[in-house]
Amino acid sequence: MRKQAFAPAAAAAVLYLGLAWLRQAGFIGIYWGQIMDLALITTIQAVGLSLIYGFAGQFSLGHAAFYGLGAYVAAFVTRAFGGNTLTFALALAAGAATAGLVALLIGLPILRLRSDYLGIATLGFGIIVKVLLDNADKLSPVLGGARGMAGIPRLTTFHWVFWLAVLSVWLARNLVRSSHGRSCIAVREDEVAADIMGLDTTQFKTLAFVVGCAMAGLAGGLYAHLYSFLHPSSFDFLKSFDVLLVVVLGGLGSLTGTVVTAIGWVFLLEALRGVLGQQFLDWRGVVYALVLIVLMILRPQGLMGGREISLDGVLGRAAARGGAGRGAA
């Protein structure tokens, strides 16, 4: 292991042991444990969209569709082959692969569209997938259609979500720093210039889209096996906005911003439940929307504005600067 990879790996291991111990010893109860798992699943999903939009500059409003595809495919696999560690791993892989494959098929034609037009096309794709999920019981009664899919084995544990989240962030970081990643950033900054410089822009846009959507599919598989019940309404276009909010609030082109915001956002919503109590169900949407508007007006460039937090920076050395702060579109 090279030296610069050692510190983050050690930090992840320490964090893992610490959190696992807190949960084992009962300091983090079942309820907050589940919120933590959900926050990590959201992180995986958001890191995927961060690659697509934050780094490659492709405005996608259909992220929840790939999340849903991954969830349903993974759940279908464990329902069909039984729930054990091996089938669970296979199910997650199948969910991620399906989402990635569909992203490749839909991405090749529609990634030719620019900015808002791409957003609307992916939004339309998201609605098509939602309609298909609503009618999925015609394909196989197990999928449940509009009634939802029940009886999925509860296989998602803290160990799975933690290490898969670490893996996703690590993959994304390496991709972003590779020459492919720098090409993606070039496409984001100026697609015409990147094209003229001889980059195959379609290739890099598709690469980011497929990898990002596969991560959404992986997150979907984890989600399905965390709650053991799936409903098409969990994957409508409003859910795509949720992820987009996290990525933009975190700061486009900042992976650590995405991670911190994803976790913070999930916990903020739970904190609202605590503060608002019984009134929560009525007021949650209002407060959520207000927080969003105020945050956006105060910090339109996102919380991190394209900068990264690094271990070096935290330890007092010069903070590393990530990609440029200005996002696309």
Partner 1 sequence: MEHLLEQTLNGLQLGFVYALIAVGYTMVYGIIKLINFAHGDVFMVGAFLAYFGFTSWGLPWPVAVLVSMAGCAVLGVGIERLAYRPLRARGAPRIAALITAIGVSLFIEYFTSLNFVFGSDYRNVPRVLPDRRWELGGITVTNVQLLVLVTVLVLVASLQFVVYRTRVGKAMRAVAQDTDAARLMGIDVDRIIACTFALGSALAAAAGALFAVAYPQIHPFMGIMPGLKAFTAAVLGGIGSIPGALLGALVMGQVEVLTAAYVTTDFRDAIAFALLILVLLLRPTGLLGKTAPEKV
Stretch that binds partner 1, among 9-17, 35-43, 65-73, 240-248 (CB under 8 A): 240-248
- Report the residue from 285, 312, 317, 321 that binds partner 1 according to the rule CB under 8 A: 285
Count other C-beta atoms under 10 Å from residue 208's C-beta. 33
CA dist., res. 303 & res. 247, Å (int):
10
> What minimum distance in Å lies between the beta carbon of 138 and partner 1?
9
Site string for partner 1, 98-127 (x = CB under 8 A): -----------xx-xxx-xx-xxx-xxx-x
CB 235 within 8 A of CB 250: no
CB 322 within 8 A of CB 308: yes
Count other C-beta atoms under 10 Å from residue 5's C-beta. 11
- Report the residue from 13, 14, 105, 128 that binds partner 1 according to the rule CB under 8 A: 128
CB 244 within 8 A of CB 61: yes
Nearer to partner 1, 221 or 305 (CB): 305
> What minimum distance in Å lies between the beta carbon of 139 and partner 1?
12
Of residues 151 through 210, those in contact with partner 1 by CB under 8 A are: 192-193, 196
Site string for partner 1, 4-43 (x = CB under 8 A): ----------------------------------------
Closest CA to 271 of 100, 39, 74, 114: 39
- Report the residue from 89, 131, 150, 197 that binds partner 1 according to the rule CB under 8 A: 131
In the chain, % helix, strand, coil (3-state, to 5) comes to 75, 0, 25
Count other C-beta atoms under 10 Å from residue 150's C-beta. 13
> What minimum distance in Å lies between the beta carbon of 207 and partner 1?
21
Please tell me whether residue 286 binds partner 1 under the rule CB under 8 A.
yes
CB 72 within 8 A of CB 201: no
CA dist., res. 217 & res. 109, Å (int):
20
CB 249 within 8 A of CB 61: no
Please tell me whether residue 74 binds partner 1 under the rule CB under 8 A.
no
> What minimum distance in Å lies between the beta carbon of 245 and partner 1?
6
Backbone angles phi, psi at 195, to 5 degrees: -65, -45
Q: Which residues bind partner 1 (CB under 8 A)?
A: 59, 109-110, 112-114, 116-117, 119-121, 123-125, 127-128, 131-132, 134-135, 192-193, 196, 237, 241, 244-245, 248-249, 252, 282-286, 288-290, 292-293, 296-297, 300-301, 326-327, 329
